[in-house]
Each structure stands twice: as C-alpha cells, then as structure tokens.
Amino acid sequence: MGNIQPIEYHYGFIPNQGGRECSVFDNLILVGDSAGQSNPLVLEGIRHAIEFGRLAGEVGANSIEKNCSKESLIQYEKIWKKKLSSKIESSLRVQSRWLKFSDDDWDNELDIIREMSVDELLDFVKGDFSASKMVKLALNHPKIAAKQLFNLVLKR
C-alpha cells in the first residue's frame, strides 16, 4: 500500500461488542451505536443508524395505540437482527483474529487484500460474509483460498 501517512485523526467512542441482547423496552427503542449496530471492522454505523432509525420510527408509530409496550416494539428488534446480526458477528470474529496479528500476519493479510477487486473488498469490509460471497471469493481467488486453508490447518 506504499507509504501511508495520516492526514487527520478522528476520535470517538463506538461500542464494539456486537448487537445488544435487547434493543427494545417499554417506550424505548435503541438505534445505532446504542443498539450495537456498528461495523466492527471499520467502526462506523451511520448507514445502519439511518436505515434502522427509519424502521424504529415506523414501528414506534404503529405501536402508539398499544402504549409503545416492549411487545409492540419487538418487531423492530426482530427485523434489524435478522438483517444485520450475522454480519456484525462475522465481523467481530475477523476483528478478533486481526487483533492478534503479528507484522508477518498483516503482510500475509495484505497480500490477500491486494488480490481482491474493489467490490470484493467492499463486501468484506461491510461484513458481507454470506456463503455465496465466500464461495465466489474462493472461486475467483483459488490460490488465496488454498493458502488460507493450509494456514488454518497448519496453525491448529
């Protein structure tokens, strides 16, 4: 990637433990960082906050007649978790692996990333680790898939 120098720094606290066990309560819906809807790989979640904020507004408006009880708001949680939880959990596993990397491990990882197309890298960073995406990645990059498989087998 060459000689990369920071041009500015951004600081902030972003929850990075995955989605909350519960994101709805009587008269309350958690959205965005408070619900744990951030991406662990890039530590951002504004897109999720916007998408699920809209959903929270719809579910909340529809539950007013039911006094905004937890039971009337639970549909929000079911929908966002169905759409996002697996991506967050997969990304947390990748992040956990990355945090243990040595410099050599990072060099190997960057070799893999260099081989990816822009779309493949974006899917990866977004946490889109669906089976179909992983199979497609392995078919498009058989040397990388074989290398990762051997590394997995040899390290255990």
pLDDT digits (tens, 9 = 90+) for 9-52: 776 677 788 999 999 999 999 999 999 999 888 888 898 999 99
Whole-number Å distance between alpha carbons of 26 and 15 = 23
Mean pLDDT of the chain, nearest integer: 87
Task: Give a three-class secondary structure readout of 2-55.
Answer: CCCCCCCCCCCCCCCCCCCCCCEECCEECCHHHHCCCECCCCECHHHHHHHHHH
Instruction: Judge if 40 and 69 occupy the same domain.
Output: yes
Structural domain range at position 51: 24-97
Beta carbons of 29 and 23 less than 8 angstroms apart: yes
Instruction: Judge if 77 and 33 occupy the same domain.
Output: yes
For the segment 107-122, the average pLDDT, to the nearest whole number, is: 86
Would 12 be classed as within a structural domain?
no
For the segment 95-111, the average pLDDT, to the nearest whole number, is: 87
pLDDT interval class at 156 (50, 70, 90): very low
Tally Cβ neighbours within 10 Å of residue 108.
15
Instruction: Judge if 93 and 113 occupy the same domain.
Output: no
pLDDT interval class at 131 (50, 70, 90): confident
Tens-digit pLDDT profile for residues 59-72 = 999 999 999 999 99
More confident residue, 150 or 29: 29
Would 57 be classed as within a structural domain?
yes
Q: How many domains would you assign to the chain?
A: 2
